[in-house]
A and B are shown apart, each in its own frame.
Chain A
């Protein structure tokens, strides 16, 4: 069956540009997570949705980061005025309950 998909897979942005990263979770999964992953390291939690409600955004590194899931399905992570330190892989995961299923990630490079 279809897994979690993310687009784009790769994004290059100039410093100061806004970017939007999309996540299509597995159909029917209530929970959705966004993570940031640096090369060779574990995922760092950014934010969590249960259906359309954003229940935890404690991991968002600054107010330049914004996430939404307006209809409880597709989610978008937006980064405004990108900085070089935002360069990372952004992972989305959805969950029916306990284990999380991950998408392939979006590799963001800010020049």
Chain B
């Protein structure tokens, strides 16, 4: 069965420090992996994706994520956190067959950046 785990409900980071939001997954085939961010009273905004190629993927707002096949992980990272990065972050995965359209979502991680 396909699944996504975001093991931390909340991550607290001081402004200017590096941040990591963790995600692990389970799919039967090659994964398509996604990160989305949700600000209060807003919809989900696409941050970045891994489909194939380089394991390090760069996305919007200075975020990046590293695909690790052996650890089945796709952790979201940023070298220097901003207070404005505070939001709810969702990891999602789907089986990498284009006919498989359904995304499996993690439960979300609340990121709090303190000044």
Q: Report the separation of the CA atoms of residues A72 and B103 in the bound assembly, to the nearest whole angstrom.
A: 21
**Given known contacts A43-B44, A91-B44, A105-B43, A100 and B107 CB-to-CB distance under 8 angstroms:** no
Once the chains bind, are A43 and B105 in contact (CB under 8 Å)?
A: yes
Once the chains bind, are A98 and B105 in contact (CB under 8 Å)?
A: no
Contact of B102 among A41, A45, A98, A107 (CB under 8 A): A45
Interface string of A86-111 (1 = CB under 8 A from B): 00000101010111111111010000
Q: Report the separation of the CA atoms of residues A42 and B51 in the bound assembly, to the nearest whole angstrom.
A: 22
Once the chains bind, are B90 and A42 in contact (CB under 8 Å)?
A: yes
Interface string of A20-59 (1 = CB under 8 A from B): 0000000000010100000011110100100000011000
Interface string of B44-88 (1 = CB under 8 A from A): 111001010000000000000000000000000000000000001
Task: Output the nearest chain B residue to A97 by Cβ-Cβ distance.
Answer: B98
Task: Output the nearest chain B residue to A55 by Cβ-Cβ distance.
Answer: B101
Contact of A101 among B42, B46, B101 (CB under 8 A): B46
Contact of A100 among B41, B51, B103, B106 (CB under 8 A): B103
Once the chains bind, are B43 and A48 in contact (CB under 8 Å)?
A: no
Interface string of B86-101 (1 = CB under 8 A from A): 0010100000001001
Q: Report the separation of the CA atoms of residues A33 and B49 in the bound assembly, to the nearest whole angstrom.
A: 18
Once the chains bind, are A31 and B101 in contact (CB under 8 Å)?
A: yes
Residue with the highest number of chain B CB atoms closer than 10 Å, among A31, A55, A104: A104
Tell me if B34 is interfacial: C-beta within 8 Å of chain A.
yes
Q: How far is the CB of B10 from chain A (nearest CB, A)?
A: 11
Q: List 5 A-B contacts (CB under 8 A).
A: A40-B88, A43-B90, A48-B102, A98-B98, A100-B46
Q: Hey, which bits of chain B sit against chain A, CB under 8 A?
A: 32, 34, 36, 41-46, 49, 51, 88, 90, 98, 101-103, 105-108, 110
Given contacts A4-B43, A102-B36, 14 further A-B contacts (CB under 8 A): A6-B43, A33-B101, A40-B108, A41-B108, A42-B105, A43-B44, A55-B101, A91-B43, A95-B101, A98-B32, A99-B46, A99-B49, A102-B46, A104-B42
Q: Hey, which bits of chain A sit against chain B, CB under 8 A?
A: 4, 6, 31, 33, 40-43, 45, 48, 55-56, 91, 93, 95, 97-105, 107
